[in-house]
Structures are given as C-alpha cells and as structure tokens.
C-alpha cells in the first residue's frame, strides 16, 4: 500500500496526493511530500524508484530489506535504515523502516508487518504535525527527526521491559531451589546482544547528521536531532548496564549452583562417614577367625550392635552440630 501526503505552507492538515501526481509535487519548492509504503511489493518499489529517480543500490536495499542501521548517500538523495523494536517473551522483535529523502520529499518503506510490533509512522506523523504548528517549518529534516525520535523513544520501552524481566530472573536465580540455570537468562541475553547491535550503529547515524553531512537538513532540525542523539547515548548506557547486570545474575546462578553442590557433597560425605564406621565394626566381627575374644562371649553380639549404634549417634550429632546434615 502506497500513501502520499503533501505538507504546504502553514496549512495544519496535509493534502492527500494520488500516486500519479507524486512527480508533480516533488520539486515544486513550496511543499514537503511524504510518501509512505507498508510492506510494498517489488513492483511498488520499482514504480517509486522510477518516479523518484532512486539509485539502483537504494532500490536493491529497499527490495531485499534486512539492512543494518546506517546512513548512505546516493547522488542527490539519502538512505537511512533504522529498526523499530519490541520485546515479546524475552525475544527481541524488529521491524525495519527505510527512509529515503532529498530536498522536498521523503519516502518511508516499512518491512515485515507483525502483530508483535507496530511501526512508528503514526506517532511520527502526529509529532511532525505538532512541530509544524509550533515552528511553521516544512523541512524534511523535521520529518526525519520525528521518525527517528519515535523509534528511539520506543527503545526506552524495550529497556523498561528488559528491566522487568531482569527483576523476574533475579527472583528465579536467588529464590529457586533447583540447580538448573533458568532458560530466561540465555534468551534475554541473546535479545540484549541483538538490541545492542541494532542501537549501536544509530549513534554513528546521528553523528553523521549532526556533522551536517546531509545538506538538505536545516539548522533548526539539526538542533532537534541533537536531542535524539542524546537519547541514543542514554539507551546505549542502559543496555550496557543491563548486560552487566545479566552477567552478574548468571554468575550468581553459578554461585548458587556451586553452593547447592557443596551442600549435597557435605550431606553425602557425612552419611558416608556415619555408615563406614558401622561397616568397619561389622567387617571386623565378620572375619572368619576362630580365636576372637568376643566370639565365646554371651553378650558379644549385642555389644557389637550397641557399639555400632553409639558410633552412629555420635557421628550424626557431630555432623548435625556443624550443619552438614
């Protein structure tokens, strides 16, 4: 599905534009054209590429998707690939959003629709329209800022969800009696690693924009993008702290396992020592010798049993006192 809207002057609402009229408003110099596509087909992208005169490498990236977060320039237009993220049952879900823009127009391509995560376009549209109302600007830099700002804000929702999962895992680690490492630790660990790989390149993308490597973005939009850059750094700091905390929980689980194993070994060794004393006495009196002092004694058998019982009770009391049993 392809939708296009034209933002002109100080008009509060955008003007819908049909696909056939897109070429008319691309270079009119008085408006901003926003074209949005949701899970487009290859034919849709090729039609847009011909209309917008996109570079063949840009078209290839838009068709194939699965791009890492990046900013590239091809001729007179720029391509930014970002990922909207969410967390579902400790599993990181991602939806790629490609942004291609130049002076006077911006194209967003959303890939792989999923019920687990919604795209940032609706929120970005509302944020951009509020900014237009306040500043009266139709700079594509503000539209780019609105999309990136919404994407990065959603990253904070992911970090909050990870914090909640870390609290749950902490309860599992230190509250469980089982020596099995919770699967949640490894699942969440993979998600945090993937989260970091996605957000990490965003820092360089924002740095490129702030270095004014994109000529069509105005100074006011650059000031707003600085805020997105700061938020990106905060997200990266949170990811690092969460990864360290998860590593600490894994080490804590291993420590709990080691402590439980020590307790098992203590009990096993204690019962072994208790039983070996009685076994030793029984073994001595069970030897096949004729001339043993107690063989002809009437109380020899009760004496042996009593000796084994006394030794067992004494050893049990000693190990119990040392909290080995």
Q: Which segments of the chain does DSSP mark as H helices, in order?
A: 22-25, 42-52, 56-64, 121-135, 140-175, 183-210, 219-285, 300-321
What distance in Å separates the CA atoms of residue 298 and residue 216, rounded to the nearest whole number? 111
Report the interhelical angle of 42-52 vs 56-64 (nearest 10°): 150
Domains annotated on the chain, with CATH: 2-256 (3.30.460.20), 262-321 (1.20.58.340)
**CB-based contact 124:146 (threshold 8 Å):** yes
**CB-based contact 8:138 (threshold 8 Å):** yes
Write the pLDDT tens digit of every residue in 258-293: 777 888 888 888 888 888 888 888 888 777 777 777
Task: Pick 187 or 25 by higher pLDDT.
Answer: 187
What distance in Å separates the CA atoms of residue 152 and residue 217, rounded to the nearest whole number? 19
Mean pLDDT, rounded, for 133-153: 83
Q: Is residue 319 classed as helix, strand or coil in its secondary structure?
A: helix
Judged against a pLDDT cut of 70, whether residue 236 lies above it is answered with yes
Judged against a pLDDT cut of 50, whether residue 116 lies above it is answered with no
| Stated pTM of the model | 0.77
Q: Which of 122-136, 151-165, 167-181 has the highest mean pLDDT?
A: 151-165
Kindly indicate the confidence band of residue 125, based on its pLDDT and cuts at 50, 70 and 90: confident
What distance in Å separates the CA atoms of residue 246 and residue 167, rounded to the nearest whole number? 10
Write the pLDDT tens digit of every residue in 39-50: 888 888 888 888
Average pLDDT over the chain, rounded to whole?
84
User: Residue 80 is encoded by which pair of tokens?
Assistant: 């930014």
What DSSP designation does 14 have?
A: P
**CB-based contact 253:181 (threshold 8 Å):** yes
- With CA atoms as reference, report the closest residue to 31 among 145, 140, 144, 146: 140
């Amino acid at each position: 599905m392809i939708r296009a809207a034209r933002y002109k002057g100080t008009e509060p609402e955008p003007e819908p534009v049909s696909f056939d009229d897109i070429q008319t408003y691309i270079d009119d110099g008085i408006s901003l054209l926003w074209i949005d596509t949701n899970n487009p087909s290859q034919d849709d992208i090729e039609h847009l590429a011909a209309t917008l005169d996109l570079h063949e490498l840009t078209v290839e990236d838009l068709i194939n998707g699965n791009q890492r977060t990046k900013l590239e320039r091809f001729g007179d237009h720029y391509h930014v690939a970002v990922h909207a993220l969410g967390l579902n049952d400790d599993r990181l879900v991602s939806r790629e959003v490609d942004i291609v823009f130049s002076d006077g127009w911006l194209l967003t391509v959303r890939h792989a629709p999923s019920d687990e995560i919604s795209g940032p376009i609706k929120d970005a549209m509302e944020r951009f329209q509020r900014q237009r109302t306040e500043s009266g600007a139709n700079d594509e830099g503000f539209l780019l800022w609105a999309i990136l700002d919404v994407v990065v804000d959603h990253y904070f929702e992911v970090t909050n969800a990870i914090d909640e999962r870390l609290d749950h895992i902490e309860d599992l680690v230190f509250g469980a009696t089982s020596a099995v490492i919770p699967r949640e630790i490894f699942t969440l660990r993979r998600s945090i690693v993937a989260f970091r790989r996605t957000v990490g390149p965003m820092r360089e993308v924002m740095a490129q924009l702030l270095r004014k490597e994109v000529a069509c973005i105005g100074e006011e939009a650059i000031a707003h993008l600085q805020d997105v850059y700061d938020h990106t750094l905060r997200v990266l700091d949170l990811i690092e702290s969460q990864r360290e905390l998860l590593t600490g929980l894994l080490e804590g689980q291993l420590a709990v396992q080691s402590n439980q194993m020590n307790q098992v070994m203590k009990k096993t060794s204690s019962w072994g020592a208790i039983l070996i004393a009685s076994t030793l006495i029984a073994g001595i009196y069970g030897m096949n010798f004729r001339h043993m002092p107690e063989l002809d004694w009437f109380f020899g058998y009760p004496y042996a049993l009593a000796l084994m019982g006394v030794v067992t009770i004494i050893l049990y009391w000693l190990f119990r006192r040392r909290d080995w049993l």
